[in-house]
């Protein structure tokens, strides 16, 4: 059974940092692109960042470029999102989502998601 | 960037009724690169349909998707109590590749 479990969310002050993790099981992690998607309160889904399975290719939404860094440890089946310079508009539930191809550039839908972790930015 | 617009924003129906959710892309999608997801509070989003019309594994056949070009629909033929949720469509065929609509909330009338 495919499982994704996010952790690392919490309350942080504006300008602060958080590191989210997504531990996965049930599939060969290195064979698939992975993504972070967020949902702000009362808003829709927003793709945040993605990373290919077999290399270090990483991609970001304009809203987080230069502040967030996605990474993965294929030996530990874990995806990360380092979030720096957090702002009020980063408040959201952050989901990790599995792509269906190894290369992020191949596109495709997300066939498995975690339950999300809440990030709150407030002083 | 392709903008995805869903309608209606909220749909109020009763169990047993038919629900039709719409999704429109700002540009024609060269292939049927549309997926639909169901979100319930506190749960992981669930893939319902991909390729505009292909049901994901384990999805009941009361869910069906169709469409091409810029207009896509998700139909739930007979609503069950567990179907009341928020539904998102996503286009995944262009750059940026992962554009979601703003969602349709399906609520009990």
B27-74 confidence digits (pLDDT tens): 888 778 999 999 999 999 999 999 999 999 999 999 999 999 999 999
Alpha carbons A97 and A4: distance in angstroms, whole number: 8
- DSSP-derived letter for residue B9 is S
Mutation choice for A interface testing from B98, B100, B103, B104 by most A CBs within 10 A: B98
Considering only residues 51 to 70 of chain B, which have any Cβ-Cβ distance to chain A shorter than 8 Å?
56
How distant is the alpha carbon of residue A44 from its chain centre?
16
Q: Is B94 helix (H, G, I), strand (E, B) or coil?
A: coil
> Quick one: pLDDT band at residue A105, thresholds 50, 70, 90?
confident
- DSSP-derived letter for residue A56 is -
Alpha carbons A48 and A63: distance in angstroms, whole number: 8
Measured over the CA atoms of residue A27, residue A6, residue B74 and residue A1, the dihedral's sign is: positive
Mean pLDDT of chain A: 95
Q: How far is B16 from chain A (nearest CA, A)?
A: 27
Alpha carbons A18 and A9: distance in angstroms, whole number: 7
How distant is the alpha carbon of residue B22 from its chain centre?
7
Mean pLDDT of A2-29: 97
> Quick one: pLDDT band at residue A73, thresholds 50, 70, 90?
very high
Q: Please choose, from the candidates B106, B104, B39, B30, the residue with its C-alpha nearest in 3D space to the C-alpha of residue A37.
A: B39
What does the radius of gyration of chain A's CA atoms come to, in whole angstroms? 13
Look at residue B19 and tell me whether its pLDDT is greater than 80.
yes
Contacting residues of A for B101, CB less than 8 Å apart: 44
Q: Is B81 helix (H, G, I), strand (E, B) or coil?
A: helix
Alpha carbons B73 and B46: distance in angstroms, whole number: 17
What percent of chain A has pLDDT above 90?
90
User: Chains A, B: CB contacts under 8 A, how many?
Assistant: 60
Mean pLDDT of B82-94: 92
Burial (CB count within 10 angstroms: exposed 0-12, middle 13-18, buried 19+), residue B82? exposed
> Quick one: pLDDT band at residue A7, thresholds 50, 70, 90?
very high
* pLDDT recorded at residue B95: 64
Residue B3 contacts residue B90 (beta carbons within 8 Å): no
Residue B48 contacts residue B39 (beta carbons within 8 Å): no
Mean pLDDT of A93-114: 93
């Amino acid at each position: 059974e495919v499982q994704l479990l996010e952790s690392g969310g919490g309350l942080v002050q504006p300008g602060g940092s958080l590191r989210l993790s997504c531990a996965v099981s049930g599939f060969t992690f290195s064979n698939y692109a992975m993504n972070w998607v967020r949902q702000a309160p009362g808003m829709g889904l927003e793709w945040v960042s993605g990373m290919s399975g077999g290399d270090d290719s990483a991609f970001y939404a304009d809203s987080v470029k230069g502040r967030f860094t996605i990474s993965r440890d294929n030996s530990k089946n874990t995806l990360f999102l380092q979030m720096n310079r957090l702002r009020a508009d980063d408040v959201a539930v952050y989901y990790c989502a599995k792509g269906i191809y190894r290369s992020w550039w191949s596109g495709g839908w997300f066939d498995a998601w975690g339950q999300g972790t809440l990030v709150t930015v407030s002083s | 960037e392709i903008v995805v617009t869903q309608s209606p924003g909220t749909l109020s129906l009763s169990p047993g009724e038919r629900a039709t959710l719409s999704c429109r892309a700002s540009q024609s999608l060269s292939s049927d690169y549309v997926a639909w997801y169901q979100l319930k509070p506190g749960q992981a989003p669930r893939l319902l349909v991909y390729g505009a019309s292909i049901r994901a594994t384990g999805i009941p056949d009361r869910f069906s998707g169709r469409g091409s070009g810029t207009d896509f629909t998700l139909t739930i033929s007979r609503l069950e109590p567990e179907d009341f949720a928020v539904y998102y469509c996503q286009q995944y065929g262009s750059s940026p590749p992962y554009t979601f609509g703003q969602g349709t909330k399906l609520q009990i009338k």
